[in-house]
Amino acid sequence: MRTNPHRLESGGRIDRSRPLSFVFDGRRYNGFAGDTLASALLANGVRIIGRSFKLHRPRGLMGAWSEEPNAIVQLGSGATAVPNLKATQVEITEGLQARSVNCWPSARRDAFAFLKLFGPLMPAGFYYKTFMWPSWHWFEPTIRRAAGLGISPRVPDPDRYEERHEHCDVLVVGGGPGGIAAALAASRAGARVVLVDDRPVLGGSLQWEEKSIDGQPALEWVAAAEQELRASSSARVLKRTTAFGCYDHNLVALSERIGSEPAAAVRERLWHVRAARVVVASGAIERPMVFANNDVPGIMLASAAMSYAAQYAVRPGRRAVFVVSTDSAYEAAESLRIRGIEIAAIVDTRKDPGEIALSAQRAGIPILAGYVPVRARGTLAVKSIEVGLSPANGTAGGSARHLECDLVCVSGGWTPTVHLYSQARGQMRYDRERGAFIPAAGTKGFQCAGAAAGNLSLHQCLTDGFAAGREAAKAAGATSDAGLAPIAKAERSAVTAFWASPRDGHRKAWVDFQNDVTRGDLELAVRENLRSVEHIKRYTTTGMAVDQGKTSNMNALGILSELLQTSIPEIGTTTFRPPYDPVTLGTLAARHVGGLYHPLRHTPLDRQHAAARAVFEDFGGWWRPAWYASHGRNREECIRVEKRAARSAVSLFDGSPLGKIEVRGPDAALFLNRMYYNTMRTLAAGRIRYGIMLSEHGVIIDDGVCIRLADDHFLVSTTSGGASRIFGAFEDWLQCEWPDLRVLVTNVTSAWGNIAVAGPKARELLSRLDTDIDLDPHAFPHLSVRRGRLESVPVRIARVGFTGELSFELSLPAGYSASLWQLLLERGSPMGVMPIGIEALQELRTEKGYLHVGTDTDGRTLPADIGLGEVLARKTDDFVGRRSLDRADAKRSDRLQFVGLEAHERATVLPVGAHLVADPKTRRGSHGYVTSSCMSEALGRSVALGLVQGGRSRLGESVQIYSDGRLFPARIVSPQWYDPKGERLNA
């Protein structure tokens, strides 16, 4: 265990009474409650926390919160590992395990550090140019393995994630002074307010700046404000919560970090907040400066150095040089000075920094005005910085000064954090004075406030935030008086944007630290004639991925402006994308995992199936028996037994999930005639007709039987997974295209249970039940329907089936179906009745040659492809999809057509998905593929169905079917294997 050699003796907002130990890169350290991983590592003297993405250069801390581009770490291991977190945002807990990424074995001693020697060979876009021959795909696996940062766990995440919807009048993003003022104003005005901040404590920069608000210490004001908001029944304060995305109609997505302790009930929560108004008070990010070797560990943002010293009581260095172009950095220098850190000099790029520099000078800090950074020296840590007169003030690099130091604090300006505002399509304008893009005008329901709107002084933040909160509340309908805005001392906060020093020979100067993009990469892009900032972004990767350009975008624009000789406003900005900060996949998935990922419907016979040891699977969104384990020793045997029962005795099949749509009204027949490919208007009452439905493209989308119960009353049967889709299509056509038709449609799928009784003894079984329906084949032929009572319950019996056997489908109110199922099993026991699952049914229909839409058809299959072309010639009425069937492509003779396939070896079951190879020698080219396949006991051989090019004109042709390195000789045949005359069906 190491002590904290760089911890200040006193101060900070850490809890020194709660020491915590943690492990980083295999070594144990300690810190205190309130520390981030970054502050604790810094306190322990660990300065190298990561390696750069491409060249594996050592990288230290640049920032202190979400702006940090370098210190990417991986937490935990195994299932609970979390990759790609910023050490600056990780709160340490007892036993925390963290390690650096993109390096081995550790960040300090990285075996891949030699890659920096190849830097000249790896400019922007090098992989686009270098790995072209023989093929990019030849290199891709290796490059993919070498690229990336953290490593995703390979096993399911055991942690729990929640989600929650919220509605409010005003959502305030950012808990700094501007955000708190906005939330107070909105709440006092009577609005329902949600205030979110991604830090563990409110206050933002007030946590490390020593300011006063309303005459009291700023943090006391923050505490009182938080108390006031929490006491209000109409306000909610969410800390540790990142607003990461803005979507349509003011929907803002939040990620709340609840608990990282193993015992935490919920780890993270996803919030969907719908706000009438959104105030973005997300602050501003200090900019680094671009100069040679500006990525050496020990070079960090001035505000970050102040945060480490004041908030975490950590000494970020012993002797610091400040290189600045802002007034705010002087405050940081003073903050470090009073905490015992020697300030070697403040190097100000401005020729005349004004009174603030004189004030620092009076405090004993040397000032170098009009100087710019030339290069930093050091490899694993900064040792000195060379500065020279600015080109504007003399010869670049002239009057060079070497300043020994172990800390360089940079401050090149401030960039308002407008990511969410930009995602909401808010417009921005370039403010030359501030050297930043700031919001031009509020987009609908969205406005920026405080530093996010370009107001850098505390006083401005408070007044602007308060006004924004008050206006937002008013716009949302709140009418109470918000009172007066909090006030702070007015102060100067001048900025002169500084992007980059003049080029220092061939030394690299980093623009985007996270993506390893240098000034040279931008120069290369411009030399290669890329002009659009969007193109340059993609070519160089600056501003992309996790970082989203937090510290790099403006510097890149400044350099591009110089290179392209174009003003920054003319170059414009790139588009910010969600998420603002990385979000775990667990949060995005929330509770939609495991059994809740895709809710499945249970049939009314669920308990009966479970009692019969059904093996359930998801079929079309229903939890259905695939087969029954009680029927044999293994899956194959069980399915075989079930099929045998259906062919030789009687079987029961739970058809409840089949879609059932009632279509009623005087124009019902006309409507269905338009919806079906087949003619339905001539269907007689009490009769049933098989039909298919097409999309407007003529493609088969569903099939089933259409039952005419009365002249103005039809029952449409759809596939189980197609019920909602077909019902929606019916409504769509009726409401949008044919509102004149007098038709009403009702989806009654769940209202009715359905049991299919099939097999040669089906009639015998039904005759053992009490019913008023005449089951005689003459009175009740195949493809007809009868209504009556069965065991005193209303029932509809349809003579249809999917097995090729004598079949009766019994439909009755769903609540009775379990009882009827039990009765059928009891009465049918002497004749060998048996429930069958989906697998047996699929094999029964395969050997009968019945196609299954979606299995034996694909997204291109037209009616003629399955042998129903002649229906089109006979039907004169229009129907959905008709026009598409006249396309030349629909009439091609080499289309994929539905056929049967027989392996030459009778016992060989052709693999589903296997292709008929056009050239068996090279095994290249496809003439179609196998769609269904099984071993048929009834036929004494294997059979398969498939889609084959010009298949019906190739009956009898021998083909080779290829799968997994094997060729299967087979023959194209008609699929009508079982009972081709339909005698069993019509029995």
Partner 1 sequence: MLEHRTPLDSIRERQAQHGPTIERRDFHVAPAHEKGLLLLQSASVNSLQEALGQVLDLTLPAAQQVNVLGNYALLWLAPAEWLLELPRDETDPVESALTQRLGPSLTVITDFSDALVSFEVSGSGAPETLMTGCSLDMRSHAFPARRVVRTALAGVPAILWNPGNPDRFRCLLDRGFAEHFLTWLEGTTPVLG
Site pattern 646..665 for partner 1 (x: CB under 8 A): ----------------x-xx
Angle in degrees, CA 523, 529, 535, rounded to 5: 85
For residue 935, what are its two tokens?
């071993």
- CA-to-CA dists, residue 452 to 168, 195, 410, 579, 825, angstroms: 22, 16, 20, 18, 72
Nearest distance, CB of residue 311 and partner 1, angstroms: 24
- Cβ-based nearer residue to partner 1, 308 or 622: 622
480 binds partner 1, rule: CB under 8 A: no
Distance of closest approach, residue 818 Cβ to partner 1, in angstroms = 6
Contacts of 529 (CB under 8 A, 6+ apart): none
Q: Is position 160 an interface residue for partner 1 (rule: CB under 8 A)?
A: yes
**Range in contact with partner 1 (rule: CB under 8 A) among 161-169, 170-178, 436-444, 519-527:** 161-169
Handedness of CA 935, 939, 941, 943 (dihedral sign): negative
Binding of partner 1 by 228 (CB under 8 A): no
Please tell me whether residue 730 binds partner 1 under the rule CB under 8 A. no
Please state the closest distance from residue 272 (CB atom) to partner 1, in A.
Answer: 7
Q: Is 746 in the site for partner 1 (CB under 8 A)?
A: yes
Q: Given candidates 13, 106, 127, 162, which one binds partner 1 under the rule CB under 8 A?
A: 162
CA 328, CA 211: separation in Å to the nearest integer? 13
Distance from C-alpha of 681 to C-alpha of 684, rounded to nearest angstrom: 8
Report how far residue 948's alpha carbon sits from residue 930's, in angstroms, rounded to the nearest whole number.
8
Say whether residue 614 binds partner 1 (CB under 8 A).
no
The strands making up 82-86's β-sheet, listed across from edge to edge, are 27-33, 15-24, 96-100, 72-75, 82-86
Nearer to partner 1 among residue 30 and residue 747 (C-beta): 747
Q: Binding to partner 1 by residue 752, rule CB under 8 A?
A: yes
At its nearest, how many Å lie between partner 1 and the CB of residue 754? 12
By the rule CB under 8 A, 156 interacts with partner 1:
no
Q: Is 199 in the site for partner 1 (CB under 8 A)?
A: no
Buried b (16+ CB within 10 A) or exposed e, 846-879: bbbbbbbbbebbeeebbbbbbbbbebbeebeeeb
User: Looking at beta carbons only, is 28 or 167 nearer to partner 1?
Assistant: 167
The C-alpha angle 450, 452, 454, rounded to 5 degrees, equals: 75
Q: How far is the CB of 556 from partner 1 (least distance, A)?
A: 39
Cα separation of 874 and 886, whole Å? 15
DSSP sequence for 693-722: EE-TTS-EEEEEEEEEEETTEEEEEE-GGG
Does 742 interact with partner 1 (rule: CB under 8 A)?
yes
Residue whose token pair is 């686009």: 128
Tell me whether residue 583 or residue 661 sits nearer to partner 1 (CB atom): 661
Among residues 217, 477, 777, 815, the one that binds partner 1 under rule CB under 8 A:
815
Binds partner 1 (CB under 8 A): choice among 232, 819, 855, 960: 819
Q: What are phi and psi of 483, to 5 degrees?
A: 80, -155
| Chain centre distance of CA 120 | 36
Toward partner 1, which CB reaches closer, 595 or 940?
Answer: 595
Binding mask 64-103 for partner 1 (x = CB under 8 A): ----------------------------------------
Q: What is the closest distance, in whole angstroms, from the C-beta atom of residue 638 to partner 1 in the complex? A: 25
354: left (phi over 0), alpha (psi -120 to 50) or beta: left
- Which among 615, 637, 634 is positioned nearest to 626, based on CA atoms? 615
Angle CA 874–878–884, to nearest 5: 95
Q: Provide the minimum distance between the beta carbon of 802 and partner 1 in the complex, in angstroms, as a whole number.
A: 21
Q: Which of 61, 773, 820, 903 is the binder for partner 1 (CB under 8 A)?
A: 820
Q: Which is nearer to partner 1, 599 or 956 (CB)?
A: 599
Is the CB of 373 or the CB of 604 nearer to partner 1?
604
How far apart are the C-alpha atoms of 564 and 762, rounded to whole Å?
84
Tokens read off for 634: 């293994």
Q: Residue 818 is inside which H or E element, if any?
A: helix 814-828
> What's the rounded Cα separation, in Å, for the pair 275 and 475?
12
Residue closer to partner 1 by CB (options 147, 751) is 751
Sole binder of partner 1 in the list 400, 709, 775, 793 (CB under 8 A): 793
Distance CA 302, CA 205 (A): 12
Q: Does 748 bind partner 1 (CB under 8 A)?
A: yes
Strands 235-238 and 193-196: parallel
Strand partners, 164: 271
- What gap in Å lies between CA 389 and CA 834, rounded to an integer? 94
- Among 95, 158, 262, 666, contact with partner 1 (rule: CB under 8 A): 666
CA–CA separation, 942 and 939 (whole Å): 8
Smallest gap from residue 266 Cβ to partner 1 (A): 5
Q: Is 568 left (phi over 0), alpha (psi -120 to 50) or beta?
A: alpha
Query: Toward partner 1, which CB reaches closer, 694 or 795?
Result: 795
Contacts of 226 (CB under 8 A, 6+ apart): 180, 202, 237
Residue 93 or 724: the one with the smaller Cβ distance to partner 1 is 724
Assess 823 for contact with partner 1 (CB under 8 A): yes
H or E segment and range at residue 82: strand 82-86
Closer by beta carbon to partner 1, 401 or else 713:
713
- For partner 1, give the closer residue by CB, 273 or 472: 273
CA atoms within 13 A on the CB side of 114: 2
Name the minimum Å distance from CB 823 to partner 1.
7
Task: Return the range that interacts with partner 1 (CB under 8 A); candidates 108-116, 136-144, 433-441, 587-595.
Answer: 587-595
Size of the site for partner 1 (CB under 8 A): 50
Instruction: Annotate 920-966 with three-state secondary structure.
Output: CCCCEEEEEEEEEEEEECCCCEEEEEEEEECHHHHCCCEEEEEECCE
599 lines the binding site for partner 1 (CB under 8 A): yes
**Taking contact as CB under 8 A, which single stretch among the options 125-133, 504-512, 745-753, 882-890 is the one that binds partner 1?**
745-753
Question: What is the CB neighbour count within 10 angstroms for residue 831?
Answer: 16
Should residue 932 be labelled a site residue for partner 1 when binding is judged by CB under 8 A? no
Residue 602 contacts partner 1 per CB under 8 A = yes
Distance CA 782, CA 799 (A): 5
Q: For residues 251 and 471, what is the distance between their CA atoms, to the nearest angstrom?
A: 19
Query: For partner 1, which residue of 340, 813, 925, 980 counts as binding (CB under 8 A)?
Result: 813
Q: Which of 232, 750, 855, 960 forms a contact with partner 1 (CB under 8 A)?
A: 750
Residue 561 or 819: the one with the smaller Cβ distance to partner 1 is 819
User: How near is the Cβ of 742 to partner 1 at its closest, in Å?
Assistant: 5
Q: Which of 131, 166, 572, 858 binds partner 1 (CB under 8 A)?
A: 166
Q: Of the listed pieces 53-61, 266-274, 415-423, 859-867, which binds partner 1 according to CB under 8 A? A: 266-274
- Pick from 231, 265, 736, 907: which binds partner 1 (CB under 8 A)? 265
Work out which of 79, 585, 596, 710 binds partner 1, going by CB under 8 A.
Answer: 596
Told to check if 167 binds partner 1 by CB under 8 A, we report yes
Least distance (Å) from partner 1 to the CB of residue 748? 6
Is 266 a residue that touches partner 1 (CB under 8 A)?
Answer: yes
Amino acid identity, position 15 = D
Binding footprint of partner 1 on the chain (CB under 8 A) = 160, 162-167, 265-266, 269, 272, 274, 591-592, 595-596, 599-604, 606-607, 622, 662, 664-666, 742, 744, 746, 748-753, 791-793, 812-816, 818-820, 823
